[in-house]
Amino acid sequence: MKKSVLKLLLSFFIFNCYLTIDSLHAQTKSTTLSTENKVTEKVLQDILDQNKQFATQGKVADYIPELGKMSADAIAFSVVDTNGKVFSVGDTNKKFTMQSISKIIALMVAVQENGEEAVFKNMGYFGSDKPFNHFGNLEITGKPLNPMMNAGAILTVSMIQGEDDIAFQKVLNMVRFITKNNNINYNEAVYLSEKETGHRNRGMFYIMKNSGLIMGEENQLDNYFKQCSIEVTAEDLAKIGYFFANECVRFDGDATYKNADVSKLIQSQMLVAGMYEFSGEYARRIGLPSKSGVGGGITVSVPGKMGIGVFSAPLDGHGNSVAGYQMILDFSKRFHLNIFQP
Ligand code: DON
């Protein structure tokens, strides 16, 4: 054999050895990483234990009297991992009202029925820099700032078609579908308490009726109060987070509502307005589309991957669960989930 051919064969052999060693190295590395990065109940329990004391720094919402009855000590943490597997720790059976988290479901139903263009004709995509019940924008531009603040959410549910409480029933049924939990219902006492004391929301409703944005009657406002009163667990919230993270495909793979555009819309609204006036800082610190409710729940979508659901009733000054926020922060750091710093 010629010397040059031998040389060529030898260098080819050496190159192949490098490739094999390199791929072996990569394989070992990825095995180590995947073991380290596995979601387990133990990981969740550790995070819950380390953060439950933060609940003492918050205050249970009582501006709706019935909400003030929630236990300050109950705490739960759930995750639906990338494969749709559910992990839950803490007070897993504890039910609480969705409150503002219902706004993402109502937005989905309204967009499904009317199309995104029609829904956003009279409402902005803006981020929130004001509390959830602020409605200054209605006065200045004549339109709600976004569908995550109360004014925009009241307008959103009014766009879902149907007499009486049909719009609410559609939102409830969508929550039941996403969570695969037909036992979910609304809490009548919380609903009545919201209806009785929600004068500010009633004010927004009538301002929008006055300007022609809302055509219907007060049953449409009742639908908003009812959707806020839907009771869920942290696990239900994790399933909702997973659904929007994964193009509206359910945790068990059911793709009935698969829609990449809708999930992109909902997650972008969660990111810029889901945590109210804290949304910008939250995006900086946690970097995940999230939606909170004054009932103490937060649902989080890890785009293309997981869903997280937390519950702890005591809230910070913005209306976000204090211990819930801390659990999400620790979990996202532990698994490098921040979309701006993976
Ligand atoms: O409109 C209200 O006052 C409540 N039913 C919902 C507000 C809410 O959850 C705001 N969240 N953080």
In tens digits, the chain (342 residues) has pLDDT values of: 455 544 544 454 444 434 443 443 344 333 333 445 799 999 999 999 999 999 999 999 998 899 999 999 999 999 999 999 999 999 999 999 999 999 999 999 999 999 999 999 999 999 988 888 898 888 889 999 999 999 999 999 999 999 999 999 999 999 999 999 999 999 999 999 999 999 999 999 999 999 999 999 999 999 999 999 999 999 999 999 999 999 999 999 999 999 999 999 999 999 999 998 999 999 999 999 999 999 999 999 999 999 999 999 999 999 999 999 999 999 999 999 999 987
Distant-in-sequence, close-in-space partners of 117: CB < 8 Å, separation ≥ 6: none
75 — phi, psi (to 5°)? -150, 140
Residue 99 Cα to ligand 1 midpoint, Å, equals: 5
Q: Which atom of ligand 1 is nearest to the CA of 292?
A: 12
Counting ligand 1 atoms within 8 A of each CB, the residue from 62, 97, 150 with the most, and so the one to mutate, is 150
Residues marked as catalytic: 100, 103, 224, 276, 294
Q: Which atom of ligand 1 is nearest to the CA of 320?
A: 12
Q: Which atom of ligand 1 is nearest to the CA of 63?
A: 3
Residue nearest to atom 7 of ligand 1 (CA): 100
How far is Cα 342 from Cα 123, in angstroms, rounded to an integer?
33
Residue nearest to atom 1 of ligand 1 (CA): 150
How far is Cα 28 from Cα 304, in angstroms, rounded to an integer?
25
